[in-house]
Amino acid sequence: PFITSTLQQEASRKLGMELHEAAEASGTTLNYEAAVAGAIPIVRPLRESLVGDQVRQVMGIVNGTTNYVLDQMTTTGMDFEQAVAQAQQKGYAEADPTADVEGYDAAAKAALLASLAFHTRMRGDQVYREGITHITPDDIASAKDLDCVIKLLAVCEGGPEGIVARVHPALLPLSHPLASVSGAYNAVFVEAQEAGRLMFLGPGAGGAPTASAVLSDLVAAAHHRAFGGHAPRES
């Protein structure tokens, strides 16, 4: 889903549910690999490869625009406005970057990841959301003093009290695998009971990477049509 306003967010939520219901009614599979993390194969691993395991946490950088902005602030000393302007010049950010910098896009993706990882359905408006518009050069400098970097993280966890999904800036130690993810790249870190820790890294946006993910869904749909069988559903 691409969300640029409250109205569009509500429309996206309703359309998503309608698509799931239509797929179930027709006995087919709804494929959306390109909806999260661009070229990174994360939807299918969560829905199929790890379906026999118990996922404990999914945490990742799922918005390339915000990662690029924070990376530029960290490596060049730019302030927020300068970094956003450069992201727009390079085509990483739209003319209105609200959906990205306020965390709406990442929240929608976190909802999808939580739905897949914990076999339920979560909406974007159920995800706690905090963007990066308040991050200052002083914050970046303070993070460096602590041997950390600031990243906008999507975190999905399951526990005794239910499923929790949130999107917010976080301090990551430089030793953490996600700390080194630079530019417009995305990365998703999965922790499962038996599989242990898995990390998926790659281009999070762009025409060719997105086309790769879309084509994988088309091939999967063609295979299902020709030979039968459907992927496991979220719930």
- Indicate which residues carry an active-site annotation: 109
Residues 6+ apart with CB under 8 A from 117: 46, 50, 55, 58, 156, 158, 190
* Residue 175 CB coordination number (10 Å): 9
Tokens representing residue 187 in the block: 């990365």
By three-state DSSP, how is residue 49 classified? helix
| 157: enclosing H helix or E strand | strand 148-159
> Distance between CA 208 and CA 27 in Å, rounded?
30
> Distance between CA 163 and CA 35 in Å, rounded?
21
Long-range contacts of 218-221 (CB under 8 A, 24+ apart): 220/29, 220/31, 220/44, 221/28, 221/29, 221/31
> Distance between CA 114 and CA 126 in Å, rounded?
11
